[in-house]
């Protein structure tokens, strides 16, 4: 078993979310997979043979505390690594995950790999619960955008809170001791405050505070970014729906990352039918790990 560390959604060759990947995970037990995530302290991806003829591969995902149904950046990391190692060539792939089928487009060379996510579901949060979310994040109503707080979901539910400016977003100091219980109460897997970049269309900044992953903040969170895209659509904050949305994350952690989300429309329907998640990766050879038997 070899574990390779892939930096996903890196921005200008820096930052990104470190993701351990095992390309040959057949035969690994649940406890062995979880141990990889615990040892690294990051979401980890595992590639296994497909169980159904309609799929090319089966992917599993673990964070230090539990297994996840889907992880966007681990999916891109695994495909990027497999392409880099010559295990796959350019083409379309069908990935089996606990959250369902994920389609992937793998171009040649070092071009961005893209994966699908379904149409997002968005629910507004008002009243006492909205006040409680602001309290957990340590902000006043006047520091928020004049749009609803929403729960948005593609594969997992994230709570979207619009902040007035990127500067205020990066200054947030949440009450981390309350995040897990509060997210459980609102049926969310993490708080995802964001800010609109006023100087450039379709550019946003965000931070991810997960519910119970085993660490307080993520440098880049693909599934949260796809949920954010549909939350932005719901709130009327998408400048050009036919152009890619760019979400910068990790800046407050010193790990600047950029995630790209593109809407896909069916025919003449003006509502996005699904979206594509993409980004770049860096593979550092000196960070390859071969655990001892």
CB 48 within 8 A of CB 21: no
User: Residue 285's pLDDT band (boundaries 50, 70, 90)?
Assistant: low
DSSP count for the chain of H helices, then E strands: 6, 18
Residue 227 has pLDDT above 60, yes or no: yes
What's the pLDDT score for residue 61?
A: 97
Residues 6+ apart with CB under 8 A from 123: 150, 151, 152
Neighbours of 91 (CB within 10 A): 12
Choose which CATH entry (3.90.1150.10, 1.10.3720.10, 3.10.310.10, 2.40.110.20) describes domain 121-273: 3.10.310.10
Q: Could you tell me the residue ranges of all domains in the chain?
A: 4-118+280-287, 121-273
Mean of pLDDT over the chain: 93
CATH class of this structure's domain 4-118+280-287? alpha beta
Region of residue 109 (left: phi > 0; alpha: psi -120 to 50; beta: else): left
For the full predicted model, state whether its pTM sits above 0.85. Answer: yes
Answer whether 4-118+280-287 and 121-273 agree in fold.
yes
- Residues near 220 by beta carbon (within 8 Å), at least 6 away in sequence: 8, 9, 15, 16, 17, 73, 249, 250, 255, 257, 259, 279
For the cut 70, the answer to whether the pLDDT of residue 179 exceeds it is yes
pLDDT at 288: 53
Of 145, 241, 128, 132, the closest CA to residue 193 belongs to 145
pLDDT at 269: 76
With beta carbons less than 8 A apart as the criterion, state whether 250 and 220 touch.
yes
Please, are residues 57 and 43 in contact by the beta-carbon 8 Å criterion? no
pLDDT digits (tens, 9 = 90+) for 78-96: 999 999 999 999 999 999 9
User: What digits encode the pLDDT tens for the residues 150-162?
Assistant: 999 999 999 999 9
């Amino acid at each position: 078993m070899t574990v390779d560390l892939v930096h996903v959604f890196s921005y200008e060759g820096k930052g990104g979310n470190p993701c351990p990947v095992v390309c040959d995970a057949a035969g690994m037990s649940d406890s062995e997979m979880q141990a990889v995530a615990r040892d690294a302290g990051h979401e980890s991806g595992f590639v296994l043979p497909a169980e159904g003829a309609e799929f090319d591969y089966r992917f599993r995902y673990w964070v230090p505390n539990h297994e996840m149904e889907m992880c966007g950046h681990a999916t891109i990391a695994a495909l990027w690594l497999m392409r880099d190692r010559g295990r796959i060539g350019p083409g379309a792939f069908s990935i089996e995950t606990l959250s369902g089928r994920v389609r992937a487009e793998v171009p040649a060379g070092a071009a961005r790999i893209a994966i699908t996510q379904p149409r997002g579901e968005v629910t507004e949060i008002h009243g006492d619960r909205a006040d409680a979310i602001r309290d957990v994040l340590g902000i006043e109503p006047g520091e928020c955008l004049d749009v609803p707080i929403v729960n948005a979901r593609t594969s997992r539910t994230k709570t979207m809170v619009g902040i007035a400016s990127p500067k205020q977003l990066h200054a947030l100091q949440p009450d981390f001791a309350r995040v897990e219980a509060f997210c459980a109460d609102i049926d969310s897997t993490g708080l995802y405050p964001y800010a609109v970049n006023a100087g450039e269309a379709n550019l946003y900044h965000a931070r991810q505070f997960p519910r119970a992953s085993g660490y307080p903040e993520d440098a880049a969170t693909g599934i949260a970014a796809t949920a954010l895209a549909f939350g932005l659509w719901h709130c009327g904050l998408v400048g050009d729906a036919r152009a890619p949305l760019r979400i910068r994350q990790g800046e407050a952690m010193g790990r600047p990352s950029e995630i790209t989300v593109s809407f896909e429309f069916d025919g003449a329907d003006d509502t996005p039918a699904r979206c594509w998640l993409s980004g770049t990766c860096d593979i550092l050879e000196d960070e390859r790990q071969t655990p001892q038997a």
